[in-house]
């Protein structure tokens, strides 16, 4: 009884031994080491973003966003590149989302384990590691010249679709793998076919992961420069409409177009005599667009996951 009483402190808690104190000290050191490592990542990013927005602040306004570039992009705003980016992302998404999702469903739910499936998986992995400039060269060869599309919005969108296809396929497979196998087995035991199981059980429970992959494709497509540089994007389009409603439909699928990423590259390296605020303004708007898309993806994923029952 005496030893038991001495081994307990106030409130009935056991007194920490020297071994426990060493473990707690090492745990604290590890925690603060990892925290400092996180700060080393976050602080430079915040510093860069702060500098960009500080330099861009004089031009950031509704007029800057709404006006079209003038005088070979030395004056005006960024509306034409912004709406061009929107059309580029929309067309590429319409092309790649069905193909990527259907391919992911096949590879995860139907494909047998053989050399062909392994070859497809290796091709998807290899495609994800190809540099964007190589995708641009492929798009120029395959779509601009071989398919006869010329330098156009459609050729650039097809190139972006090929480049982002592995993202959609991988996100779809991961989302499908997250659905417990017990769900499939229960459905099969009720007499449902494989397609009925996928359509009614697997896909509804994996939609959050697939949507996340699709939205990440949007963010990547909006920020790419090299693929569209060779397939349809141009520095300046003098004939862009300047009044609504034509201002919302300045490009057709066969037209060359302006995009924010290409516009940023041009005003930073190709156009002389442009104000520094214009350069940083384009960068700030592009960053805000990508941050908004990624934030929307995170919120949507959290909302859909919260609705799951498992």
Q: What share of the chain is helix, strand, coil (3-state, %, to 5)?
A: 75, 5, 25
Q: Is the pLDDT of residue 210 over 50?
A: yes
Residue 1 in this model has a pLDDT that exceeds 70: no
- pLDDT for res 308: 66
Percent of the chain with pLDDT over 90: 33
Helix (H, G, I), strand (E, B) or coil at 307: coil
Distance (Å, rounded) from C-alpha 59 to C-alpha 284?
10
- 62-306, CATH topology level: MetI-like fold (1.10.3720)
Distance (Å, whole) CA 19 – CA 9: 17
pLDDT higher than 70, residue 223: yes
Residue 9 above 60 pLDDT? Answer: no
User: What was the pLDDT predicted at 309?
Assistant: 61
Arithmetic mean of pLDDT, 33-38: 92
**Global pTM value:** 0.83
Buried b (16+ CB within 10 A) or exposed e, 238-259: eebeeeeeeeeebbeeebbbbb
**Residue 309: CB atoms within 10 Å:** 4
Q: In which element (H, E) is residue 192 found?
A: none
128 versus 150: which is more confidently predicted?
150
For position 46, what pLDDT does the model report? 92
Closest by CA to 221, choosing from 210, 209, 233, is 233
Of 112, 96, 187, the C-alpha closest to 195 is: 187
Domain boundaries, the chain: 18-56, 62-306
Please check the confidence at residue 14 and state whether its pLDDT lies above 70: no
Q: Kindly give, in sequence order, each residue whose CB lies less than 8 Å from that of residue 275, ignoring residues fewer than 6 positions away.
A: 59, 74
* Confidence (pLDDT) at 310: 61
- Residues 79 and 67: beta-carbon distance below 8 Å: yes
Beta-sheet pairing, 75-76 with 69-70: antiparallel
How far apart CA 298 and CA 206 sit, in angstroms, is 15
228 close to 259: Cβ distance less than 8 angstroms: yes
Instruction: Give the orientation angle of helix 79-105 with respect to helix 203-223, to 10 degrees.
Output: 140
Residues 247 and 67: their CA atoms lie apart, in Å, by: 10
């Amino acid at each position: 009884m005496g030893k038991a009483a001495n081994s307990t402190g106030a409130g009935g808690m056991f007194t920490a031994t020297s071994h426990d104190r060493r473990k707690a000290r090492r745990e604290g050191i590890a925690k603060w080491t990892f925290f400092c490592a996180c700060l080393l990542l976050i602080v430079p990013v915040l510093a860069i973003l702060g500098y960009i927005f500080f330099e861009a602040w004089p031009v950031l306004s509704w007029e800057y966003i709404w006006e079209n570039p003038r005088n070979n992009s030395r004056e005006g705003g960024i509306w034409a590149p912004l709406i061009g980016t929107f059309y580029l992302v929309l067309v590429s998404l319409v092309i790649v989302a069905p193909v990527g999702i259907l391919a992911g469903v096949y590879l995860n739910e139907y494909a047998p384990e053989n050399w062909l499936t392994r070859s497809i998986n290796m091709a998807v992995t290899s495609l994800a590691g190809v540099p964007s400039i190589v995708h641009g060269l492929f798009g120029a060869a395959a779509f601009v010249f071989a398919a006869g599309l010329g330098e156009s919005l459609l050729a650039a969108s097809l190139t972006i679709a090929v480049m982002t296809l592995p993202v959609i396929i991988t996100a779809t497979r991961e989302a499908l793998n997250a659905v417990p196998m017990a769900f499939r087995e229960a459905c099969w035991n009720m007499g449902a076919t494989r397609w009925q199981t996928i359509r009614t059980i697997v896909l509804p429970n994996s939609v959050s992961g697939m949507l996340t992959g699709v939205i990440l494709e949007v963010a990547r497509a909006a920020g790419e420069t090299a693929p569209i540089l060779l397939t349809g994007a141009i520095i300046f389009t003098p004939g862009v409409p300047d009044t609504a409603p034509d201002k919302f439909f300045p490009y057709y699928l066969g037209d060359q177009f302006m995009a924010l990423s290409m516009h940023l590259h041009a005003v930073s390296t190709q156009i002389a005599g442009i104000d520094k605020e214009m350069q940083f303004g384009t960068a700030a708007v592009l960053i805000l667009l990508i941050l908004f898309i990624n934030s929307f993806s995170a919120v949507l994923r959290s909302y859909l996951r919260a609705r799951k029952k498992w």
